[in-house]
């Protein structure tokens, strides 16, 4: 079940129980206590009411923060290496691309839209219960191409600086050597991995990105199920912009990689 739905239901249930007690049940308990006389022990607050009164503010705060400010996510795959690694825990800004009601996903305030180079979290259009994270490489109207590992946008090559650095990368149980390069989108420089595979053909490249939709790719270009396969991402599938790594846990080392904690996602 959708965690946002669980939070909404819990908030409503606890708020209703607390309000019902304030409006009706508390007065009935006070009346019974008065009728019993001064020496009688006052009736205790029901456990469910006490629980709801205590935890309603906490659950409401979590719902509001998670829905409108920041939501935590964990990186499960290597598709965004070297920018994000398996074991990174990140914060996603929920207001970067507009405020939306939880569960209904209805936009209530248009505060911004994705730009080229943003690292965005979105719901997979074919499976809204699954979240993906990729880099935005094409906004509405852009024509994105991939030639010899280099992105071209609207007929212009995206700046790409190759390095001599090689990193061994796992991809679906297989390992390959990836070259580290620096790509610049919208004036922001970030690292990407380039393997030896040929550029993928795709029906979503070399054509204008439709209005209200976006084209995304993983920074690990030869190991990413991204817009080249899943197609364009509609605005109403956007969750938010990945902004910072708040925790890391390296499963192989059995410890955090301290140098990654707190890093801004570029």
Number of separate helices (H) and strands (E) present in the chain: 4, 15
User: In degrees, to the nearest 5, what angle opens at C-alpha 133 toward C-alphas 229 and 241?
Assistant: 130
Q: Which of 67, 77, 134, 145 is catalytic?
A: 134
Query: Choosing from 52, 67, 77, 79, which is the catalytic residue?
Result: 79
CA atoms within 13 A on the CB side of 115: 9
Give Cβ neighbours of residue 153 (< 8 Å, ≥ 6 apart): 116, 137, 138, 142, 143, 144, 145
Q: Which pair of structure tokens corresponds to residue 79? A: 């598709």
Q: Cβ(106)–Cβ(100) under 8 Å? A: yes
Catalytic-residue membership of 94: no
148: left (phi over 0), alpha (psi -120 to 50) or beta: left
Distance CA 4, CA 109 (A): 19
DSSP conformation class of 117: T
Q: What does residue 250 show for φ and ψ, rounded to 5 degrees? A: -85, 110
The answer to whether residue 149 is catalytic is no
Q: Where are the beta strands (DSSP E) in 41-126?
A: 70-74, 88-93, 99-100, 107-109, 119-124
Catalytic residue annotation: 79, 134
């Amino acid at each position: 079940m959708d965690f946002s739905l669980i939070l909404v239901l819990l908030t409503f249930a606890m708020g209703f129980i607390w309000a019902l007690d304030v409006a009706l049940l508390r007065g009935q308990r006070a009346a019974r206590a008065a009728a019993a006389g001064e020496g009688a022990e006052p009736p205790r607050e029901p456990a469910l009411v006490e629980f709801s009164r205590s935890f309603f503010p906490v659950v409401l705060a979590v719902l509001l923060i998670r829905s409108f400010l920041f939501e935590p996510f964990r990186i499960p795959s290597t598709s965004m290496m070297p920018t994000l690694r398996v074991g990174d825990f990140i914060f996603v800004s929920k207001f970067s691309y507009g405020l939306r009601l939880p569960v209904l996903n209805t936009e209530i305030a248009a505060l911004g839209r994705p730009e080229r180079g943003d690292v965005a979290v979105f719901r997979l259009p074919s499976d809204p219960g699954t979240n993906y994270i990729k880099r935005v490489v094409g906004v509405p109207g852009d024509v994105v191409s991939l030639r010899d590992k280099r992105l071209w946008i609207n007929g212009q090559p995206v700046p790409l600086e190759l390095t001599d650095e090689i990193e061994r990368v796992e991809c679906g149980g297989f390992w390959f050597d990836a070259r580290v390069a620096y790509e610049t989108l919208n004036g922001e420089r970030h690292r990407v991995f380039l393997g030896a595979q040929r550029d993928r053909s795709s029906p979503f490249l070399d054509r204008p990105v439709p209005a209200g939709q976006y084209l995304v790719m993983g920074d690990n270009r030869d190991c990413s199920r991204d817009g080249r396969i899943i197609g364009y991402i509609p605005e109403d599938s956007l969750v938010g912009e990945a902004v910072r790594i708040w925790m890391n846990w390296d499963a192989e080392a059995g410890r955090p990689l301290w140098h990654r904690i707190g890093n801004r996602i570029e």
